[in-house]
Structures are given as C-alpha cells and as structure tokens.
Amino acid sequence: MLTEKSVHQEVNGKYTFEVHQDAGKVDIKNALRTLYGVHVDAVNMTHVPSKYRTGKGRKLMEKRSAARRAIITLKKGEKLDINRRSEAKSVKKKVKVIT
C-alpha cells in the first residue's frame, strides 16, 4: 500500500499491506516468509472502518468498505522487494496480500 506515511516508513524497514479480515499476525508472518523470503521482526495490525460519502440532501452516495492493514517490521539489514516473489506454491488461502 503506497501512502505518504508508508513510503517514509520504508526507510526504517516498515512496510504496509492491506490484508484479509480473517488473517492473523502469524499467518501474515508466515506468508511473507514464504512469498518473499524475508524475516519478519514484528507485525502490527490496524482496522480502517468503512465510511460513507453523502450527497445532496444527506443521501448516501457511496460507501468505502472496511479494510485491515498490517504494518510489517523486518529485521535489520533486510529489504522487501515487492516485484520479486519466490516460487512458493502453497500459501494459506485466507492470507490475501494486496500490493
């Protein structure tokens, strides 16, 4: 996920991903180890609530769905190359990493 804050955190070895609602910290850690071959030091989770946009006369126009984000901290000296994935074939289905 690319936001101004997440790009600034990449210098410190922190990367932000939008993940599936049911994914746990251990699932995400194992998925990143399998997909990218990196050692994850910490996983922090945040919830982004759904929001509504109102139009004329306070009518609801659109709804932004809720999301769950994972902020991954890698061990010192490691970097995550998003474009390079290892040839892993078996990753749990409920861990959906959106890049």
- In the chain, what are the domains? 4-74 (3.30.70.330)
Average pLDDT of the segment spanning 62-82: 88
Q: Tell me the pLDDT band of 90, cut-offs 50, 70 and 90.
A: very low
Prediction pTM value: 0.71
Q: Which residues does residue 71 pair with via DSSP β-bridges, in sequence order?
A: 16, 44
Per DSSP bridges, beta strands 40-48 and 67-74 are antiparallel
Return the exposure string of 5-14: e unless at least 16 CB atoms fall within 10 Å of the residue's CB, then b: eeeebeeebb
45-54, pLDDT tens digit by residue? 999 999 888 8
Q: How far apart are the C-alpha atoms of 69 and 60, rounded to whole Å?
A: 26
Helices (H), ranges, the chain: 4-9, 25-36
